[in-house]
Structure 1
Amino acid sequence: MQLSDQNQYTIQGIAPAQLVEQFGSPLYVYDGQTIRRKAAALQKAFSGVNMKIKFACKSNTNLAVLRLMREIGVELDVVSPGELEMGKLAGYQANQITFTPSGVPFYEVKEAVEAGAIVNVDSLPLLEWFGQTFGNTKPCLIRIKPNVAAGGHAKIMTAHADSKFGISVLLLDQILEIVKKYDIKIIGLHQHTGSDIKDAEPFLKVADILFETAKHFPDLEIVDLGGGFKVSYMPGDAITDMELLGNKITARFKKFCSEYGRELQLWFEPGKFLVSESGNLLVTTTVVKEDPARNFVHVDSGLNHLIRPMMYGSYHHILNTSNPTGEEKPYNVVGYICETDTFASDRHLPEVRQGDILAFLNAGAYGFTMSSNYNARFRPAEVLVDNGEARLVRRRETLEDLLLTQQGL
């Protein structure tokens, strides 16, 4: 994604107007080169240790994106049987997939284990059941809750004391008791602090907690520090300094491995970090409403396609790709859903006219995967641009798709 000398926004040289003309509006577009670049940055930051990337595919489950991840050596972290099957359809072997459930029915865990995936056990009842069911015949990881609060929004903090995720580190004695009782084969410890963490300090704090906890488990092969790296949402936005973080975590991890007595694998599970910046939601302006209190730009999309601004108050930079040099004016950019679905308030944009194509940036993560058919609206098509070629990787929905599972028609 880039701006030309004329401020014309393109995706690998392809203009949004060309993509909308070919594939329709609204439209999700992913830039494959951005995904490759982000993965390479993470690999470089941790080149000093035996590191593995597990893509948190809840952020984007398009099969074309999953196949691209497999192509560049990134494995998968899934949270449901559906995501597990999508990973297998994308060409992953089951042993390349980690299943990280959150209070799911135990039969889902059984299916994942029997399929060959590695499970992150997230509760004492599940650990007890795992021991009763598999003894020491199947390996697993344990998800530890380190009781550290960090993240860009309360809804995306997952390691604090009140979070539903993982087993509190304060319950270590009970964990060890169950592991010993059933001789459970614990090959790794896992934690995930949250999302949009800018500073290195929270990562270092939870790493130290996990390294200390790991000393109680003699047969570990893996320490999994999750993800949550901050991405850039607006020009000049501060992001996680991956080189600094890589150097600090690497030093601590090497020291831990030396004390532990052997080299372990270090895993990370980024989702947003790998795909957010690759994504654009292209929309078309339907109405420009000049109101005494506010100017409104209505577009052919809404919270049914991108719920993050309404759910998290998230910021998505917006470009008027049809009139990039127009005089700037303040607008509220709003959707077409019969709810208050405001994408941006008092946003200064080059003059927006009916028919102009707007690009919502940083829409590659938790955009389509959190979309819905609210108001009986269709979900958009998805396009992957890679090596300068735009390819349809999900068609636009139709009324037949909405009616497919209804009975008695």
Structure 2
Amino acid sequence: MQIDQNRYQIQGVDVLEIAREFGLPLYVYDAEKIIEKINTLQAAFRGVQLKIKYAAKALTNVSILKLMRSRGIDVEVVSINEIRMALLAGFEPGQIMYTPSGVSFGEIQEALALGVRLNVDSLPLLEFMGQTFGSTKPVGIRINPHIAEGGNIKIQTGHKDSKFGISMEQRSQIRAVVERYAIPVVGLHIHTGSDFKNADAFLKGAEVLFELANDYPNLEFLDFGSGFKVAYREGDHSTDIGELGRKVTAAFQNFCEKYGREIDLCFEPGKFLVSESGVLLVNVNIVKENPSRTFVGVDSGLNHLIRPMMYDAYHEIVNVSNPTAEKQTYSVVGYICETDTLGWDRSLNEVRPGDVLALKNAGAYGFSMSSNYNSRFRPAEVLVYEGKPYLIRQRETFEDLMRGQIEVDFEEEITVKK
């Protein structure tokens, strides 16, 4: 994405033209930016057998999944419906890594029947796999490494009190279950959370997996999850992928030499691949001057981008309709009947009713965490590919809101009883 003096463009396409064609509010994704991120990761880990598995929960649109597959990327999923969507996008079952957390055993069986690979997240699930399948189903095991690093506490998943993974302190219990049923363990997995700034956090997790790998002679992969930090504002720190590649590659090569053979090094980036590709375009409904501050009310809110309210996340906001006007200070708020702030005290080019604002870094956990709260429609989605915008999800309608609801006429029931 680029901004010149008068136009905000994605691959040379003016976002105002996209807004006029597809309506607002609207998610717009830049395929070129996604491909750039894939290339960055692949270039950083050339010295190992690298497998990139896109974390589908970040942006679960079938066209985005197809784009990932076209670039040689596998996929990581956390639910049965993400599995179905990945299969629909053309992934082979062996390219799909399923890492559920606390789901029913019935869902596990349904997923395995589809042929996907499974990461086991708990001792009860490991016991179930042994009792049900014995030695016939190879598994990966997700380990909780007791590492409390990363960003907001809500996205830290590897600390001792996290619900995710099997504690590293339960190493002997894992081995006991595996040996009792001769379960084939083909991989070890960790994901300690999001927004790591440097390679050191990954190296801490790597040391845990390198040590546990000694228990399992037939491993095919070690999976380090993801959590690469992206920049949300000018001057923001982001993960140095080059440094990460150098340090982790060296450590992994040393491990493989000691292990006796090469295995796959896996990462599961979600936000890193899609966050910067996306903008949420919104229309300004009202500019409301209060004694203490000026509010800009837009036709969107936490139902379309919950991250500011849920994680105190910062998303840069740009007035794309009036890019050369003098700057003023505004608080940008949504139309949801809650405290619904998208950005406090932002310096924006003068905002007028009818202007279009762009909220940046909306590619990850925007639509995928959206809702119909207040009975509002979810936006359409557009992907710009090779300079052309493609509609990849229709805007919802009232019929979509009512689908599945069953109307009961209670007045008629009362009349019948009388």
- Which TM bucket (shorter chain)? over 0.9
Distance 1:32 1:109 in 2: 33
2: distance between equivalents of 1:180 and 1:117?
23
| Equivalent residue runs for 1:337-352 within 5 Å | 337-352=336-351
Corresponding residue number in structure 2 for 1:191: 190
Is the 8 Å Cα contact of residues 285 and 358 (structure 1) preserved in structure 2?
Answer: yes
* CA contact 1:16–1:357 (8 Å) conserved in 2: no
CA distance in 2, matches of 1:143, 1:80: 16
Match of 1:2 in 2: 2
> What are the Cα deviations for residues 61-116 of structure 1, in whole angstroms up to 9, with x where unaligned?
11110000000011100000000000011111111101000010011111111111
What amino acid maps onto 1:219 in structure 2? N
Q: In 2, Cα distance between the equivalents of 1:93 and 1:362? A: 30
Number of residue pairs matched by the alignment: 408
Amino acid at match of 1:2: Q
CA-to-aligned-CA distance 1:18-66 (integer Å, 9 cap, x gap): 1111000000000000000001100111111000000000000111100
Residue 405 of structure 2 aligns to a residue whose secondary structure is coil
Give the structure 2 partner of residue 12 of structure 1.
11
The structural deviation recorded for 1:7 is 4.9
1:339-378 counterparts in 2 under 5 A? 339-378=338-377
Describe how 1:236-251 pairs up with structure 2 within 5 A: 236-251=235-250
Aligned-partner Cα distance in 2 for 1:211–1:234: 36
Alignment of structure 1 residues 31-46 onto 2, 5 Å: 31-46=30-45
CA drift of 1:408 comes to: 3.1
Alignment partners' CA distance in 1, 2:63 and 2:6: 30
1:73-152 → structure 2 map (5 Å cutoff): 73-152=72-151
Give, as a single letter, the amino acid of the residue that structure 2 aligns with 1:64. S
- Once residues 303 and 234 of structure 1 are traced to their aligned partners in structure 2, the CA distance between those partners, rounded to angstroms, is 20
Root-mean-square deviation (CA, aligned residues, Å) is 0.8
Q: Deviations over 1:164-194 (max 9, x none)?
A: 0000000000000000000000000000010
Between the aligned partners of 2:61 and 2:131, the Cα distance in structure 1 is 36
Q: Deviations over 1:272-306 (max 9, x none)?
A: 00000000000010000111111000000011111
| Matched AA of 1:18 | E
Query: Using the alignment, how far apart are the partners of 1:300 and 1:408 within structure 2?
Result: 29
Counterpart secondary structure, 2:13? coil
CA distance in 1, matches of 2:211, 2:248: 14
| Secondary structure in 2 matching 1:215 | helix
> In terms of mean alpha carbon deviation, does 175-184 or 103-112 score higher?
103-112
Distance 1:86 1:221 in 2: 26
Q: Please show how residues 272-311 of structure 1 align to structure 2 within 5 Å.
A: 272-311=271-310
* Alignment match, 1:325: 324
Provide, for residues 286-334 of structure 1, a one-character-per-residue CA deviation record: whole Å limited to 9, x for no partner. 0001111110000000111110000000000111001111111111100
Secondary structure of the residue that 2:203 maps to in structure 1? Answer: helix
- Cα distance in 1, alignment partners of residues 325 and 122 from structure 2: 55
Name the structure 1 match of 2:391: 392
What is the alpha-carbon distance in structure 2 between the residues aligned to residue 171 and residue 371 of structure 1? 37
Show CA shifts across 1:352-374 (max 9, x none). Answer: 11111000000000000000000
Measured in 1, the distance between the counterparts of 2:113 and 2:257 equals: 34
Q: Distance in 2 between matches of 1:367 and 1:214?
A: 37
User: How high is the sequence identity, in percent, across the aligned residues?
Assistant: 59
Segments ≥4 residues shifted beyond 3 Å: none
User: 5+ unaligned residues in a row in structure 1: which ranges?
Assistant: none
Alignment-mate amino acid for residue 141 of structure 1 = G
Distance 1:352 1:235 in 2: 21
**CA displacement, residues 220-251 of structure 1 (integer Å, 9 cap, x when unaligned):** 01000000000111122111000111000000
The AA in structure 2 aligned to 1:337 is I
Secondary structure (helix, strand or coil) at the match of 1:84 reads: helix
Q: Determine if contact 1:285/1:353 at 8 Å carries over to the other structure.
A: yes
Report the AA paired with residue 38 of structure 1. K
Deviation digits for residues 137-185 of structure 1, max 9, x if unmatched? 1111000000001111000000000100000000000000000000000
Structure 1 match to 2:312: 313
Query: Within 2, Cα distance between the matches of 1:139 and 1:111?
Result: 16
Query: Is the contact between residue 76 and residue 96 of structure 1 (CA under 8 Å) also seen in structure 2?
Result: yes
Residue in 1 that maps onto 2:414: none
Compare 9-18 and 173-182 and name the one that shifted more: 9-18
Q: 2:94, 2:404 → 1: CA distance?
A: 33
What residue number does 2:56 align with? 57
Q: What are the within-5 Å matches in structure 2 for residues 18-29 of structure 1? A: 18-29=17-28
The structural deviation recorded for 1:16 is 1.7
Is contact 1:381-1:397 (8 Å) kept?
yes
- What letter corresponds to residue 108 of structure 1 in structure 2? E
Contact 1:3 / 1:9 at 8 angstroms: preserved in 2? yes
State the distance in 1 between where 2:74 and 2:235 align.
Answer: 31
Amino acid at match of 2:39: A
Q: Counterpart amino acid of 1:214?
A: A
The aligned counterpart of 2:403 is 404
Long gaps (5+) in structure 2 = 409-418
- Supply the AA of the counterpart residue of 2:393: R
Q: TM-score, normalised by structure 1?
A: 0.99
The alignment's TM-score, normalised by the length of structure 2, stands at 0.97
**Cα distance in 1 between the residues matched to 2:22 and 2:155:** 33
